[in-house]
Structure 1
Amino acid sequence: MRNNIRYIFLSILICLCAGCSTYTAFYSKTHKEVVGENILKIHRLDLSNQNLTQLPANIEQIKDLRMINLSNNPDLDLSNTFERLSVHTNLEVLILDSLDINIIPESISQFKNLKQISLAHNTDLLMDVTLSRLSELPIEFINLANNKLTELPENIINLTSLKDLNLSYNNIKDPKTYKLLGQLPKLYSLWIDHNELETLPATICNLKQIRFLYIDHNNLAYIPDSMIDMKKLWVIHAGYNKFKKLPTVFAKMKVLLMVHINNNEITTIPKIYETQKYPLAGLLLDNNAFSKEEVERAKQIFNGFFLLSFEQTVYK
C-alpha cells in the first residue's frame, strides 16, 4: 500500500513537471498586437522583437492585461513604458529579456501584483539594485539566465516570496551564494544548469527547502554527500555531465523520487543500490556507457521502479 501511494504521487509529480511552464499564471491566447475588437480580450501580449521605441498608442485601452513580453526592444524607454503600463494593476508577468538594461526603474514598484519577471540576457544589470527594487513586490519567479553572474548579492534574501529561480547559463560557483539561497523560505525550484560547474559547493546542502534541482549541462563527476541534508528534494536533473557511476548519495536521500542522469559516462551501478532502502522510484539513465550486461543487472536492481529508462545510442 505504501509503495502504491508513492507511485501515485510520483505519477502526479511527472504530470506536473511535464506541464510546468513559467509565464502562465493564467491561460489565454497570446496576442502580438493591440488592434480592433481584440483589445477587450487581451490578457497576454507579446511585443518582443518589434524594434519598439515606445508602446502602442492604445495600450492603455486594454482592460485586463496580465502578461506582457517586451524582450529584444533595446531602444524602449523603460521609465516611460512603466508609466504607461501603470494603469494595468493586474499585471502579473513581465518579460524584459535582451533589453540592455542597466538599472530597473524605481517605478516597477507600482506593479503590486507582479509575480513573475524575466531579466535574461541583460549582462550589465546592476543586480543589487535590481533585487532591492523587486523585494518590494510579491515576486515568485525570477529568470536571471545568461547574465554573466558569478555570485548573488546578499539582498537576495529579501525576496521572501520567491519560489522559482532560474540562474542558467551563468558561472555561479561562489559558496556564499548557496548559503544565501538557503535563506529563502519558499524557494521550490532552482536552475543552475549550464554554469560550467566542475563541483557543487558543499554549501548547496543549505538548500533544505527546495523540491526541484536542475544541475544538468555542467562538468560534474561527483555529488557531495552533504546533499543528504536536502531533505525535501524530490527531483534532480543531472543529465549531460561527466558522471562515471551513479552517485551513491541518491540512495541516502530521504524523499528523492526521481533522477534524470542521462547523457553521462556512467558504466556501473554501485552496490549500495542493492542493499539500501530508498524512496527513489524514477531513474532516467539514457545514453550512458553501460554494457548490455550492466543494463540487465541494473534492471534487476531497480525492478518495480515506476519509471526506468536505459535507452542507449551505442552500448559499451
Structure 2
Amino acid sequence: MEIEPFKDKIREITKLTQEEIYELIEDEQKKVIGTLHEKVALMRIVVNIYHDSHDITLFDEIKNYMELIDKDICYSENLDINTVKWYICQPDNLKLDFVTFGFGSSIELYECDCSLFLKNRICSHVEIYKSKSFDPCFIPDSIDHYSYYDGIEPDSFTLKDLLKEYPRWVLEYLFERWNEFYSVHKLANILETSSSLLTKLLGLLHAYRKNRNVDVRNRIVSMIKNKDLDVLWLTCEATDGGLTIFPEIPKNSSQFKFVHLEDNFLTFLPDSFANFVAVEKLHLQRNSLESLPESFGSLTSLIELNMDHNRLRTLPATFGNLTLLEDLKIKNNNLRALPNTFGNLESLKSLDLSNNKLISLPETFYNLSLLESLNLSNNKGLYISDSIDNMKSLKKLNLNSNGYLTFPKPICYLELLEELSLVSNKLKSLPECIGKMTSLKYLNLNNNLIETYPLSLCNLKKLEFVRLGSYSYSIIPDFLIDFLIDLEANGVNLGISPGRFYELKQRR
C-alpha cells in the first residue's frame, strides 16, 4: 500500500493541509489500544471519509485493499433479492504484521448490489445489517446469540415493517419460532399481508438455507481434498451455524492431525469418518450424536477426544482400539454402560464420564493403570468395584452427586490419590480405612450427612484443602478439633469462618 496517493485523495476530498492530515493520522493512532501502524490509521481515515462522502471512486480504491469475508441477502417489499457483502482489511493486504493493527483497529466495508447503493454507495439494506451487528461469518449464530429476539411477537409489525427492520438471518429465526404457534394464514393476517406473499418469503428463506448448506458441504469437501491442510476447523462459525450431515470422507484423507467439529447439529458420523486415519485431536462436543460407527475404532492415532454434551447411549466395541488415547471427555451424555473393550485404552491418563447414567463399569475398566484423573460424578448409584485398587496411577477422583449412602471403601486403597471429592452424596460416616489415603492433599465432603469421624482421619498429614461437610459442635470429636487446629496453623484451607473457628478452639 502506497501512502501518498491516499493522502492526496484525502486532501482532494477534505481540503485539509498536509500538516492537518498528519494530525488526523496521529489522532487516529491514539484511538486504539496498542501500536497502530500509520498505514492502518490512514486506511481507517479513508474508510471514514468514504462513509461520510460516499465517493464512488474512493470506494473502488479502498476495495483493492479489502478482502471479501462473506455475503448475505436481503429482501425488498416485493421480495426482490439483493446481496450484501462484507469486507475487512487483512494485515497481508497492507503488507503488515498483524500485531501492528492494535486492539480495536478493525477496518470493514459493506457493499450491496441494489440500484440505490450502486448510485449513491448507501442504502437501507446495508444500514439494516450494520444496525443489527451483521457478521456473516457467524450467521446463523448460536441460540444464545438469538435470545435477544425471543421477545419479538408478530403483532408488533406488518410484513413491510418487518422487512425494513430485520436482516435475513433474524427473519429466518423469527419465522421458525412463530410457525410453531401460527398457521401461514393466521400469520399473514397478523402481519397484514397475503398468504401467497408470506408463503413466497418462507420459501425464499428455506431455499437460501438449503443453498448455504450445500455451499458449506461443498466447501468442506474442498477443504478435505486440500493436501496442504492438517487442521480441519468446522465449528458452528465456520459452517454457518450448524452442520447436520457430514460428507463422505475420501480414503486418502491422512493429512489431518486436528479435526474440530464442535457446536454443530450432527446426529451421526459416516462410516468413512474412519478415513481420518492420522487425526490426533478430535473435538465433537456440543453436537447431537446418539452413536458412533463401528469404524470409529480405526482412528488409532487419536490422542485427545472430546465428545461432551451429546446424546451418546453406547460406544462401539471397536472403541477399545484407540490405544494411544490419553485424554477422553464424554460428560453430559446418556451412557448406561461401557464396552468391555474400554479397558484396552492403555494410554488413557484423563477421563471424564460425569453426568451420564452409568450404574456399573466393566471389570476391564479397572485395567487403566496409567489413568491419573477420573471424573465419575453425577452417575446415580454407580458401583465401584474392589478392582479400583489396580489403578495405581490415579491422583484425582471425583464422585460427587452419585447418591452414595456409604463411603465406597475400595477407594481407600488408592495410596497415591491426591484429590478426592464426594460432594453432595448422603454419607453418614467415614470408614476407618480412609486413614490409609496418606497422599491426599484435597478432600471435599461438603453437603453430606456425616455424623461420625474415625480417628484415622488424623493420618492425612498432607492435606492442603479440606471440607468435612459439617462443623457442628455436637458432631466433631475432640481429636478432630485438635487435628483441624494443627491443619489451620499450617495454612490449610478449612472453609471455616474465623469466628466459627475461634468458637471451635474455645471448646477445647
Alignment TM-score > 0.5, same fold: yes
Aligned to 2:463: 305
- Which residue, out of 331, 335, 338, partners 1:172? 335
* Mapped pair 1:127 → 2:293: yes
Q: 1:49 to 1:243 in 2, by over 3 A?
A: farther
The DSSP-based 3-state class of the residue aligned with 1:180 is helix
C-alpha deviation, 1:182, in angstroms = 1.5
Residues in 1 aligned to 2:274 and 2:365: alpha-carbon distance in whole angstroms: 32
* Mapped pair 1:240 → 2:407: no
Aligned to 1:217: 378
CA contact (8 A) 2:231 2:256 kept: yes
C-alpha deviation, 1:159, in angstroms = 2.0
Q: Deviations over 1:206-241 (max 9, x none)?
A: 222311111001113652211111122111111111
Residues in 2 aligned to 1:187 and 1:235: alpha-carbon distance in whole angstroms: 14
CA contact (8 A) 1:214 1:236 kept: yes
Residues in 2 aligned to 1:196 and 1:38: alpha-carbon distance in whole angstroms: 50
Could you say what the CA RMSD is over the residues aligned between the two structures, in angstroms? 4.2
Aligned to 2:445: 285
- Which residue, out of 208, 233, 238, partners 1:68? 233
Aligned to 2:198: none
Q: 1:243 to 1:38 in 2, by over 3 A?
A: farther
Aligned to 1:28: none
Per the normalisation by structure 2, the TM-score is 0.44
Greater C-alpha Rg = 2
Q: 1:103 to 1:38 in 2, by over 3 A?
A: farther
C-alpha deviation, 1:280, in angstroms = 2.9
C-alpha deviation, 1:119, in angstroms = 4.9
Identity %: 20
Q: 1:158 to 1:196 in 2, by over 3 A?
A: closer
- Which residue, out of 202, 212, 226, partners 2:387? 226
CA contact (8 A) 2:303 2:324 kept: yes
Residues in 1 aligned to 2:231 and 2:471: alpha-carbon distance in whole angstroms: 44
Q: State the one-letter code of the partner of 1:190.
A: L
CA contact (8 A) 2:388 2:410 kept: yes
Q: 1:153 to 1:269 in 2, by over 3 A?
A: same
Residues in 1 aligned to 2:409 and 2:139: alpha-carbon distance in whole angstroms: 45
Q: State the one-letter code of the partner of 1:169.
A: N
Residues in 2 aligned to 1:225 and 1:107: alpha-carbon distance in whole angstroms: 38
- Which residue, out of 290, 300, 304, partners 1:141? 304
Residues in 1 aligned to 2:403 and 2:290: alpha-carbon distance in whole angstroms: 32
Q: 1:49 to 1:245 in 2, by over 3 A?
A: farther
Q: 1:298 to 1:252 in 2, by over 3 A?
A: closer
The DSSP-based 3-state class of the residue aligned with 1:259 is strand
Q: 1:47 to 1:187 in 2, by over 3 A?
A: farther
In structure 1, runs of 5+ residues without a counterpart are 1-32
Aligned to 2:160: none
The DSSP-based 3-state class of the residue aligned with 2:466 is strand
CA contact (8 A) 1:287 1:314 kept: no
Report the structure, 1 or 2, having the larger helix content: 2
Q: Deviations over 1:81-127 (max 9, x none)?
A: x89xx8xx676241244323433474774684542322543335542
C-alpha deviation, 1:277, in angstroms = 6.1
The DSSP-based 3-state class of the residue aligned with 2:90 is helix
- Which residue, out of 254, 262, 281, partners 1:115? 281
* Mapped pair 1:92 → 2:253: no
Aligned length: 266
The DSSP-based 3-state class of the residue aligned with 1:187 is coil
Residues in 1 aligned to 2:351 and 2:361: alpha-carbon distance in whole angstroms: 14
Per the normalisation by structure 1, the TM-score is 0.66
Q: State the one-letter code of the partner of 1:198.
A: I
Q: State the one-letter code of the partner of 1:79.
A: P
C-alpha deviation, 1:257, in angstroms = 1.8
Q: 1:108 to 1:252 in 2, by over 3 A?
A: closer
Higher RCO (CA 8 Å, separation ≥ 6 residues) = 1
- Which residue, out of 349, 373, 386, partners 1:188? 349
Residues in 2 aligned to 1:146 and 1:281: alpha-carbon distance in whole angstroms: 30
Residues in 2 aligned to 1:201 and 1:108: alpha-carbon distance in whole angstroms: 26
